[in-house]
Amino acid sequence: MLFAATIMKKIPFAKMQGSGNDFILIDNRRGILKGRDLSALAKTVCHRRFSVGADGLIVIVPPSSRKTANFKWRFFNADGSEAEMCGNGSRCAARFAMNRKIAPKKMAFETLAGLIHAEVKRERVRVQLTDASGLRLNMSVPLSSGIRTGHFINTGVPHLVYFTEILDAENVEAVGRETRYHDLFLPAGTNVNFVSVKGPRKLRLRTYERGVEGETLACGTGAVAAALVAAALGSASSPVEVLTKGGETLIISFTLKNGMFAGIELDGEAQVICEGDLFL
């Protein structure tokens, strides 16, 4: 009975990273995770030191209709919360799907934010995101350190952008946490980006991510938010190169006409770190 109680199920997984954001990916199209609480699973497997560790868990499931999508994903942050979208995660999911013959090089997949189109070109993956929404420029955000000017946009998930000339000196953890939970962004909260403009097509970015609850090495939807807000303010134009804290550069392309964004694309590397089995 003792041995029976300790028997664990073997679950194949891959770990991937995009610009320093790392993810655990599981193909659940045949129900290998049937009956499991996916939120609790995400918290378990994303816990660094006690498990594989990652910023998020991506679970691949069958699409609602094979006429419109090759697969559907469910994305969970490390804290177990389910998110509508993740830019770097979407690039990893696309390469994982092509590697596993779930989808061809050009594909579409379902997210809570809408249908995402992607194309895999060796280690680089380009994804076309859903349209951005909710742009609000020059918001006054009262913080314990004083009032800061922020700019809000939803690029699949909510983002606030602070422009700064002292990016390396910013207290991303403290200011990010206070902003993330600010009354202005209830009930969903917001991701928080600190951006330095380095030229008409070059930005540097640091991001406090909702769900990870801390600064990450990169954020795809945050990079998109930074580029779009910079363009709306006249500080940048497409294509925009965004240098992440992890040292990699993401390329954001879009069109801006009459204050509206269209054709938003995110391009960058997506790499397989390892593959193996989880025993859960």
Catalytic residue list = 86, 219
Nearest Cα to Cα of residue 223 among 258, 200, 184, 194? 194
Which of the 8 DSSP states describes residue 233? Answer: T
The rounded distance, in Å, linking the Cα atoms of 267 and 271 is: 13
Provide the 3-class DSSP secondary structure of residue 34.
coil
Residue 90 backbone dihedrals phi, psi, to 5 degrees: -65, -35
Residue recorded with tokens 């269209």: 262
Element counts in the chain: helices (H) and strands (E)? 5, 18
What tokens were used for 201? 């097509």
Count Cα atoms within 13 angstroms, Cβ side, for 241: 9
What tokens were used for 207? 């991001």
